Amino acid sequence: MKNNYKNYALSMKALSDETRIKIVEMLSHGELCACKILEAFNITQPTLSYHMKILCDSGLISNRKDGSMTKYSINIENLQELRNFIDIIDENMNTKS
């Protein structure tokens, strides 16, 4: 089992902001471009761009260029990684030592 605490912390940090949590929820229903995401929030375009960068850097989401638009989607494998952490904690708690 990988003891990649630093990676876990990075993913958690990416999700430690309410705006970013909501973005991930939005993307769970399917790929979206930045402009569509922007409509849902009361933030400026540069601020959204900043948040998208953090989410991408964490690996939780991916992006692809489609013409002049950037489309974002969830990276399911990295989300599973996060679940693994919780699973490990859970298993440890249920293990009589």
* Cα distance between residue 27 and residue 17, in whole Å: 16
**CB under 5 to 8 A by kind: which of DNA, a copy of itself, none does 43 bind?**
DNA
Least gap, CB of 59 to a copy of itself (angstroms): 15
Read off φ and ψ for residue 16, nearest 5 degrees: -90, 10
CB burial of residue 22 (10 Å; 0-12, 13-18, 19+) = middle
* Cα distance between residue 54 and residue 72, in whole Å: 13
Eight-class DSSP state of 17? S
Cβ proximity to DNA: between 39 and 95 the closer is 39
Q: Which of residues 58-87 bind a copy of itself (CB under 8 A)?
A: 74, 76, 79, 82-83, 85-86
Cβ proximity to DNA: between 19 and 78 the closer is 19
Residues making contact with a copy of itself (CB under 8 A): 5-6, 8-9, 12-13, 15-18, 20-22, 24-25, 28-30, 74, 76, 79, 82-83, 85-86, 88-90, 92-93, 95, 97
